[in-house]
Homo-oligomer: A and B are copies of this chain.
Amino acid sequence: MGLINHVFGADSLKKLYPSNLGIGHTRYSTSGISELQNCQPFVVETLHGKIAVAHNGELTNASRLRKKVMKHGVGLSTSSDSELITQLLAFTPPLENDDTADWVARIKNLMRETPTSYSLLIMHKDIIYAVRDPYGNRPLCIGRLIPVGDMNGKGKDNSETEGWVVSSESCSFLSIGAEYYREVLPGEIVKISRHDVQTLDVVQRSEGDPSAFCIFEYVYFARPDSIFEGQMVYSVRKRCGQQLAIEAPVEADLVSTVPESATPAALGYAQKCGLPYVEVLCKNRYVGRTFIQPNMRLRQLGVAKKFGVLSDNFKGKRVVIIDDSIVRGNTISPIIKLLRESGAKEVHIRVASPPIRFPCYMGINIPTKEELIANRPEFHDLANYIGADSVVYLSVEGLVSSVQESIKARQENNPKNQKAFIGKLGHCTACLTGDYPVELEW
Q: Which residues in A have some Cβ–Cβ distance to B below 8 Å?
A: 3, 5, 36, 42-47, 51, 66-67, 70-77, 79, 86-87, 89-93, 95, 98, 151-154, 171, 174-175, 177, 223-226, 231-232, 234-235, 260, 263-264, 267, 271, 276-279, 282-286, 289, 304-305, 307-313, 334, 337-338, 341
Residues in B neighbouring A73, C-beta threshold 8 A: 72, 74, 87, 90-93, 95
Are B152 and A338 in contact (CB-based, < 8 A)? Answer: yes
Kindly report how many copies of this chain are found in the complex they form together.
4
Could you write out 28 A-B pairs with CB less than 8 Å apart? Answer: A5-B286, A44-B76, A45-B66, A47-B70, A70-B90, A72-B73, A75-B86, A75-B87, A75-B89, A75-B91, A77-B77, A153-B341, A171-B284, A174-B307, A174-B308, A175-B284, A175-B304, A223-B285, A223-B308, A224-B308, A225-B311, A231-B312, A234-B279, A234-B312, A267-B277, A267-B278, A271-B276, A285-B289
Residues in B neighbouring A66, C-beta threshold 8 A: 45
Residue of A74, A154, A235, A309 with most chain B CB atoms under a 10 A cut-off: A74
Please give me the residue from chain B that is nearest to A150 by CB atom: B341
Residues in B neighbouring A232, C-beta threshold 8 A: 310-312
Residues in B neighbouring A46, C-beta threshold 8 A: 70, 75-76
A142 to B265, CA, bound (A): 38
Contact check: which of B47, B95, B334 meets A67 at CB < 8 Å?
B47
Are A341 and B154 in contact (CB-based, < 8 A)? Answer: yes
Residues in B neighbouring A225, C-beta threshold 8 A: 282, 308-311
Residues in B neighbouring A79, C-beta threshold 8 A: 45
Contact check: which of B71, B75, B307 meets A45 at CB < 8 Å?
B75
Residues in B neighbouring A341, C-beta threshold 8 A: 152-154
Interface contacts beyond A171-B284, A177-B304: sample of 7 additional A-B pairs, CB < 8 Å, sorted by A = A45-B70, A47-B67, A72-B91, A74-B91, A175-B284, A224-B308, A225-B282
Cβ distance A116 to chain B, nearest Cβ, rounded Å: 23
Are A277 and B277 in contact (CB-based, < 8 A)? Answer: yes
A269 to B175, CA, bound (A): 30
Residues in B neighbouring A312, C-beta threshold 8 A: 231-232, 234-235
Are A3 and B308 in contact (CB-based, < 8 A)? Answer: no
Are B91 and A309 in contact (CB-based, < 8 A)? Answer: no
Residues in B neighbouring A264, C-beta threshold 8 A: 279
Please give me the residue from chain B that is nearest to A6 by CB atom: B6
A36 to B175, CA, bound (A): 32
Residues in B neighbouring A174, C-beta threshold 8 A: 307-309
Are A75 and B51 in contact (CB-based, < 8 A)? Answer: yes
Residues in B neighbouring A279, C-beta threshold 8 A: 234, 263-264, 267
Cβ distance A62 to chain B, nearest Cβ, rounded Å: 13
Please give me the residue from chain B that is nearest to A311 by CB atom: B232
Residues in B neighbouring A70, C-beta threshold 8 A: 45-47, 90
A138 to B182, CA, bound (A): 53
Are A77 and B338 in contact (CB-based, < 8 A)? Answer: no
Are A282 and B234 in contact (CB-based, < 8 A)? Answer: yes
